[in-house]
Chain A
Amino acid sequence: AQKITQTQPGMFVQEKEAVTLDCTYDTSDQSYGLFWYKQPSSGEMIFLIYQGSYDEQNATEGRYSLNFQKARKSANLVISASQLGDSAMYFCAMNYGGATNKLIFGTGTLLAVQP
């Protein structure tokens, strides 16, 4: 069965510093995708970054990068140069069941950026 594990319920980071949010996954699928979403206090789900299981290079989107270690089944999100607006809940998710958009989510990490 597929599973996403986020072991950090909460994290603090100083403004302008980098932070890594951990995500490990379990799947028997050979082909899958990993997503990170940001959920601010207003509640919407904001897509940040996607990594395909066959992508050989780590995905990057602006200040976000995904540290993909396939053998270890980890997909950590790195946020560089943290900003106050980065304070939010962050969810790691994986699509499963073949070429569908069915997602399984982790329980999230609450990030607080301190000035």
Chain B
Amino acid sequence: NAGVTQTPKFQVLKTGQSMTLQCAQDMNHEYMSWYRQDPGMGLRLIHYSVGAGITDQGEVPNGYNVSRSTTEDFPLRLLSAAPSQTSVYFCASSYSILTGMHSGNTIYFGEGSWLTVV
């Protein structure tokens, strides 16, 4: 998935520290989103954006902030890390999805960021 780049790949934080997970895509996609994956579960949506300057909450937004100042970048901020935020984080991007129609588009994921909060 060379089109969606996440950094860092691995990070260890202490409780209460803040950090930013970076996500960048070079495919000119309007839509970008962040998911977290916990053991034994599928991915859950944290925040998403339908374009520069527009963001909204997903299923599990508490403890996370996002902004979208450019089409290419969609950083995820942890303001005060907690052990419950230990997870694998995935960024995703796509063009507009023509829901219900085979548009030939898909949703691309980054390689993931492994975050441990101690």
Contact = CB atoms under 8 A, between A and B. Distances in A.
Nearest to B94: A101
5 contacts: A35-B107, A45-B1, A45-B90, A52-B100, A107-B41
A25 interface: no
Interface in A72-115: 91, 93, 95, 98-108
Interface string B43-81: 111001010000000110000000000000000000000
A55 B99 CA distance: 10
Interface string B77-96: 00000000000101011101
Contacts of B108: 47
A53 interface: yes
Interface of B: 1, 31, 33, 35, 40-45, 48, 50, 58-59, 88, 90, 92-94, 96-103, 106-109, 111-112, 114
A54 to B, nearest CB: 4
Given A44-B111, A54-B101, A101 B42 contact: no
Q: Interface size bucket, A side?
A: 20 to 34
B99 A31 contact: yes
Contact of B43 (A46, A98, A103): A103
Contacts of A29: 99
A30 interface: yes
A91 B37 CA distance: 12
Given A35-B107, A47-B107, A100-B31, A105 B43 contact: yes
A4 interface: yes
